[in-house]
Chain A
């Protein structure tokens, strides 16, 4: 069930909202949590009910481990828990990748397992690890099994994040004295949801064909020229931003409709003037996870410059691999590792403040070009496909106007206009998002337009939602659903 599908918008969401608030009002908070749990499990099982036992098994095992840690100390339970989660992820996501590589490098012909990738396993495995680490660091307690199940399966974020840390949401679930401000929850929640839905349905879906066309053509042996390759690659850069940040906005909005706060995941990443800044604005919760659970444990920047760069590189390689079991994702991560290293190197050894002032535009342009080139590996299905597109982008296949349409250019101009001239959702709604959430995402809102909750903006939000619903009939998957 996609957030932009009719069954979600007209059946699931109204049903869950009504059942949750009625349960809160006439039964109890625990009953309301039960409703949310049930709804979340139904939401997850809707994709493929065969995946549900795996999710519940993961919750049960991690809960047992967490309780053991709380009672008998961290070790060896923390290690067991982390190995369990990584093993689960490794088996379902990376086993065939590993077998394929072994087969390619040796005369062995090991059979592939073809187990299929359970939906959201990358997300919930990382959440479970962060949960166990938080328990070990005494930042949170195991809590009720209901609360733990909901922490993992809460339908606004289970499929594609944001990656929530247990302490960020457990206290909200446990707060049975909370007051429901239904008007504020629905008003703010639906407005943020409408922005996210519009990003997905009105922009990402319309840009998608121009990106898909290029990548599919390259996979089939086509050699796009300079312009066609850049148009397609930029189209993908815009598509993935509007798709994923749209999804994240919808997740935030949906949680808010129920009165809960989720962490912010995006804050205008294409306005970044460096790769370092990009990762502070793009998929913020993943960046924080990688920083807290990989980069810092590896030593971070505490063991000298060289070690710092090695740690950065390793973190980003594994971050790339987390997205998918393919070498193209590893290269994507590696490129970003390289970009971060060069950034730090420049900051230390390069001329100070060279990119300050008006030259910041150059830095933004270079960062966008770099991330766009890196997206080619992220999106391509094969080395050869990525190679043909990059050859085109670097001018090795001629000017290439074939397939370049006015429509494609118009959508790209519109998309770039939005990402470069308008503030992203967290800034626009900074008055309605609580201080802690903004602090967690390290966002300090700049002066700029803010959403005012007036009758006129209510009608504007309704109109946006109306237009998005009217165009939600072509419900393609969110890109991050495949991870």
Chain B
């Protein structure tokens, strides 16, 4: 039995040490502080992928930022990685494929940092659906339990990290990148195809979309706790290209969207009167902006069939360019009036009152766009699509459970010490 026990223990600990040591050394998510190995790990090609939330969570857990910008891939790609003209700086903490569950955890985690003054958070109907809850790497990150040292252990002993480590080494050896970066020029027709296929896909996706009110309640808990501790929370609804917004309308989700917008405005309004320790944007403890709804810069025509030059405002219907994001930050902070396309209006402060009136304006802007050639082209495409009766894209719903609520409550409970020093 001695030989059995010693073999078991030696095999186990040797395996764990080798596996963990390899991952910690390669450090694809940039959290262990291991030195770069020239030619092997020097290029951090995985930091902006799904595993990027590990890196983001590590930085949020360490603290030190006065302002953070949270959101999905629209935030990752739609804002400069180091946004300018923001006093004290703002950290782009966007995470690809995220949703309000992860974003709430991230905001609660960051709020433990007494230096934090402002949270700017990009929101969308997408993030409140039941189709997803958290990426696999969420459970590795400090977002899961708020503990950095445990996150380090989990990351080191994770097959996800091992996969990312191998990919990082391969990227460094071959000069590759995890995804083709957004380009200034494309092959003729490629952009048009991307807009059309993107809009078709999102139409089916919206058809299978289900809003989860429990997620809004979860976010409301975060909003309550953060604003009560003197942090200003500025929410904004992401802009989308008119083709994507039309997909939402044609899938029958416009009323759902407008109701969501109204609910969100009421949620923010409940905490608007709270006094932040140091406001980053004009307004009280909670401020909400809306950049969606067939805004003029989002109604610029989709790329033509032979166009090779990039669209001036959008990579593709769901993702805007960093100069748009930069302009949005300036609009929220300085109430800048010029839109990225040089036209006005550009975004609107959303309150329960303006939500109703701007909904009518949204419908009018849509109607005006539909009468243009670009709107007519989109209409023809959706008409053709509906003739094929596309199946709604449905996946097993993922609802929040007791563990999810408790992990957030644990983080919110730990805000208090920082709040008293803020």
| Alpha-carbon gap, A458 to B8, bound state (A) | 5
| Alpha-carbon gap, A182 to B9, bound state (A) | 12
For B11, the chain A residues whose CB sits under 8 A away are 458-459, 462-463, 466
Q: Does B361 contact A (CB under 8 A)?
A: no
Q: Does B16 contact A (CB under 8 A)?
A: yes
Q: Does A213 contact B (CB under 8 A)?
A: yes
Contacting residue for A462 out of B3, B7, B399, CB 8 A: B7
User: Which residues between 286 and 334 of chain A lie within 8 Å of chain B, taking CB atoms?
Assistant: none
| Alpha-carbon gap, A454 to B159, bound state (A) | 28
Contacting residue for B16 out of A191, A222, A469, CB 8 A: A469
For B9, the chain A residues whose CB sits under 8 A away are 186, 190, 462
Q: Would A453 and B4 be within 8 Å (CB), given that A465-B12, A466-B12 are in contact?
A: yes
Q: Which of B8, B16, B19, B402 has the most CB of A within 10 A?
A: B8
| Alpha-carbon gap, A453 to B396, bound state (A) | 43
Contacting residue for B5 out of A183, A209, A222, CB 8 A: A183
For A473, the chain B residues whose CB sits under 8 A away are 139-140, 144, 154, 157-158
CB distance from B204 to the nearest CB of A (A): 14
Q: Does B1 contact A (CB under 8 A)?
A: yes
Verify B4–A213 contact, CB threshold 8 A: no
Q: Does B376 contact A (CB under 8 A)?
A: no
Verify A474–B139 contact, CB threshold 8 A: yes
| Alpha-carbon gap, A172 to B144, bound state (A) | 40
For A457, the chain B residues whose CB sits under 8 A away are 4
Q: Would A183 and B159 be within 8 Å (CB), given that A7-B150, A461-B8, A476-B403 are in contact?
A: no
CB distance from B307 to the nearest CB of A (A): 39
Verify B396–A187 contact, CB threshold 8 A: no
Q: Does B341 contact A (CB under 8 A)?
A: no
**Which A residue sits closest to B162, measured CB to CB?**
A470
For A222, the chain B residues whose CB sits under 8 A away are 397
Q: Does B6 contact A (CB under 8 A)?
A: yes
Verify A470–B8 contact, CB threshold 8 A: no
Contacting residue for B1 out of A184, A217, A465, CB 8 A: A184
| Alpha-carbon gap, A476 to B11, bound state (A) | 27
Verify B150–A471 contact, CB threshold 8 A: no
**Which B residue sits closest to A232, measured CB to CB?**
B396
Contacting residue for A183 out of B4, B396, B398, B399, CB 8 A: B4
CB distance from A235 to the nearest CB of B (A): 11
- B 136-176 to A, binary, CB cutoff 8 A, 1 in contact else 0: 00011000100000100110011100000000000000000
Contacting residue for B159 out of A402, A403, A470, CB 8 A: A470
Instruction: Give the secondary structure class of B's interface.
Output: helix
For B401, the chain A residues whose CB sits under 8 A away are 212, 216
Q: Does B15 contact A (CB under 8 A)?
A: yes
Verify B2–A183 contact, CB threshold 8 A: yes
For B3, the chain A residues whose CB sits under 8 A away are 455, 458
How many A-B contacts are there with CB distance less than 8 Å? 103
For B153, the chain A residues whose CB sits under 8 A away are 6, 10
Verify A186–B5 contact, CB threshold 8 A: yes
| Alpha-carbon gap, A190 to B396, bound state (A) | 36
For B19, the chain A residues whose CB sits under 8 A away are 466, 470
| Alpha-carbon gap, A209 to B139, bound state (A) | 15
For A10, the chain B residues whose CB sits under 8 A away are 153
Verify B2–A408 contact, CB threshold 8 A: no
Verify A453–B139 contact, CB threshold 8 A: no
Q: Does B34 contact A (CB under 8 A)?
A: no
CB distance from A301 to the nearest CB of B (A): 40
- A 200-228 to B, binary, CB cutoff 8 A, 1 in contact else 0: 00000000011011001100101000000
Q: Does B394 contact A (CB under 8 A)?
A: yes
**Which A residue sits closest to B11, measured CB to CB?**
A462
Q: Does A405 contact B (CB under 8 A)?
A: yes
For B154, the chain A residues whose CB sits under 8 A away are 6, 473
CB distance from B130 to the nearest CB of A (A): 8
Contacting residue for A210 out of B16, B396, B399, CB 8 A: B396
Q: Would A459 and B7 be within 8 Å (CB), given that A403-B397, A465-B12, A470-B157 are in contact?
A: yes
Verify A183–B158 contact, CB threshold 8 A: no
| Alpha-carbon gap, A379 to B396, bound state (A) | 18
CB distance from A103 to the nearest CB of B (A): 24
CB distance from B87 to the nearest CB of A (A): 38
CB distance from A324 to the nearest CB of B (A): 13
For A463, the chain B residues whose CB sits under 8 A away are 11, 15
CB distance from A325 to the nearest CB of B (A): 15
For A176, the chain B residues whose CB sits under 8 A away are none
Q: Does A431 contact B (CB under 8 A)?
A: no
Verify B15–A462 contact, CB threshold 8 A: yes
- A 384-413 to B, binary, CB cutoff 8 A, 1 in contact else 0: 000000000000000000110100100000
A selection of 21 A-B contacts at a CB cut-off of 8 Å is A6-B153, A182-B5, A183-B1, A183-B2, A183-B4, A186-B9, A190-B5, A190-B9, A191-B8, A216-B397, A217-B397, A402-B394, A405-B396, A408-B396, A462-B7, A462-B9, A465-B8, A466-B11, A470-B159, A473-B139, A474-B139
Q: A6-B154, A473-B154 are in contact. List 13 more A-B contacts (CB 8 A).
A: A10-B153, A181-B1, A183-B1, A187-B4, A187-B5, A213-B398, A453-B4, A457-B4, A459-B11, A462-B9, A462-B11, A465-B8, A473-B140
Residues of B within 8 A of A (CB): 1-9, 11-12, 15-16, 19, 139-140, 144, 150, 153-154, 157-159, 394-399, 401-403
